[in-house]
């Protein structure tokens, strides 16, 4: 194994990497950034951001794609089919390009154009499907259709959910391994944004694996955070139910528009077993924390990456977090992923053009 391979492959035996195949772009080993402003303001001494935007295609889905495409190559597959609301497609497109494998993607209707262009840049073939993502019925038909098409073609089918691609999702567990490596063997809270719930389930299973198989003496309490417009899991978890529920997704937070159950039932069980809770936040809360992360912490993320922090703020308001225990927010992807969210944050007006430096200096003096 090359010395340049990062933590994702360091743990390859733990997540079941195929022997002799490593389709990699250097994913993993992302920074765990300690909050210097928002944490103290919330009364938390150790608030951390696990910044997955540092992965090669800009999101945690690279961990999934590296594992998934490596398995496809090992299996002798020549074509990859998949679905995406953005990040999964960008990651699969990049890793399929790396492997020399054609990639065909069924896209959620509301996927941001920036993510679609990223997929196209890697040579993927994609079409958006009307109401895919928002309608559970249509989403279910797309998933079933893809399974049939993959079987007909002899293609690999990679969807970032344990329900469809457990071998790929196993690669996402490395997030937990990296957090534990930095923070050590202690109780900690990890807040995860959820659409279909795959990320949350992978992180919970990662901590469980560390405890059961690796002798880790810490405890990762995994919390599921969802926008109220896509509350398939979080309220059910908080209410004591064992079952997630399908909804007509209405959130504007891209990447979390997954109204189907997918991994939801398993997420509820895993979070409850870990000691975590469900948290529902508004889109307005997400936009607020999205802007504050950029301006107060320097963390530039997509809106879905701010959902976990919105959940932390909610938990603090409920008195559910200790000031002393480490709290980790999973920040799913870079802010370059969603141009619409940047326009919401800073406005659509172009940067002003002035005639000379004197005008620049005058503007600086006016602001200060």
User: Is pLDDT of 96 > 50?
Assistant: yes
Q: What is the largest CA-CA distance in the chain?
A: 68
3-class SS shares of the chain: helix, strand, coil, % to 5: 50, 15, 35
What are the start-end ranges of the E strands in 260-364? 278-281, 327-331
Please list, residue by residue across 90-107, b when 16 or more beta carbons sit within 10 angstroms of its beta carbon and e when fewer do.
Answer: bbbbbbbbbbebebbbbb
Distance CA 30, CA 178 (A): 8
**Rounded distance, CA 179 to CA 173, Å?**
10
32 in Cβ contact with 52 (< 8 Å): no
E-strand ranges in the chain read: 32-34, 47-51, 80-84, 103-108, 125-129, 156-158, 187-193, 219-227, 278-281, 327-331
Nearest-angstrom CA–CA distance, 260 and 342: 28
Q: Give the domains, in start order, of the chain with CATH numbers.
A: 7-58+168-346 (3.40.50.1100), 61-163 (3.40.50.1100)
User: What is the tens place of the pLDDT at every residue in 30-84?
Assistant: 999 999 999 999 999 999 999 999 999 999 999 999 999 999 999 999 999 999 8
Arithmetic mean of pLDDT over the chain: 93
At 6 the pLDDT is 57
The string of pLDDT tens digits covering residues 318-358 is: 999 999 999 999 999 999 877 777 778 888 888 888 899 99
pLDDT tens digits for range 243-279: 999 999 899 898 888 888 999 999 999 999 999 999 9
First-residue to last-residue Cα distance in the chain: 53
Enclosing H/E stretch for 284: helix 283-292
- Other C-beta atoms closer than 10 Å to the C-beta of 318 total 10
Mean pLDDT over 354-363 rounds to 92
Residue 4: predicted pLDDT: 40
Task: Give this prediction's pTM.
Answer: 0.93
Model confidence over 121-149: pLDDT tens digits?
A: 999 999 999 998 778 889 889 989 999 99
């Amino acid at each position: 194994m090359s010395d340049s391979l990062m933590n994702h492959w360091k743990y390859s035996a733990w997540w079941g990497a195929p022997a002799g195949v490593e389709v990699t772009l250097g994913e993993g080993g992302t920074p765990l950034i300690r909050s210097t402003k928002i944490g103290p303001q919330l009364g938390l001494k150790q608030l951390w951001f696990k910044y997955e935007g540092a992965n090669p295609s800009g999101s945690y889905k690279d961990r999934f794609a590296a594992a998934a495409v490596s398995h496809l190559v090992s299996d002798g597959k020549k074509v990859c089919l998949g679905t995406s609301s953005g990040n999964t497609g960008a990651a699969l497109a990049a890793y399929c390009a790396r492997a020399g494998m054609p990639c065909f993607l069924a896209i959620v209707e509301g996927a941001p154009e920036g993510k679609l262009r990223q997929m196209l840049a890697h040579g993927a073939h994609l079409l958006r499907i009307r109401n895919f993502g928002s309608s559970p019925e249509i989403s279910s038909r797309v998933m079933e259709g893809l399974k049939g098409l993959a079987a007909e073609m002899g293609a690999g089918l990679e969807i970032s959910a344990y329900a469809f691609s457990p071998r790929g999702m196993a690669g996402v567990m490395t997030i937990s391994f990296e957090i534990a490596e930095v923070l050590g063997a202690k109780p900690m809270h990890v807040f995860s944004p959820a659409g279909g719930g795959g990320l949350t389930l992978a992180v919970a299973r990662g901590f469980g694996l560390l405890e059961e198989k690796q002798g880790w003496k810490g405890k990762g309490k995994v919390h599921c955070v969802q926008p109220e417009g896509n509350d398939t899991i979080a309220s059910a978890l908080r209410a004591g139910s064992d079952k997630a529920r399908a909804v007509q997704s209405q959130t504007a937070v891209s990447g979390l528009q997954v109204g189907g159950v997918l991994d939801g039932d398993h997420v509820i069980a895993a979070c409850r077993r870990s000691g975590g809770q469900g948290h529902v936040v508004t889109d307005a809360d997400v936009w607020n924390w999205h802007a504050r992360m950029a301006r107060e912490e320097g963390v530039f993320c997509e809106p879905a990456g701010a959902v976990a922090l919105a959940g932390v703020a909610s938990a603090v308001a409920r008195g559910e977090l200790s000031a002393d225990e480490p709290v980790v927010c999973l920040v799913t992807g870079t802010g370059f992923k969603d141009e619409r969210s940047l326009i919401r944050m800073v406005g659509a007006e172009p940067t002003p053009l002035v005639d000379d430096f004197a005008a620049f200096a005058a503007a600086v003096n006016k602001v200060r």
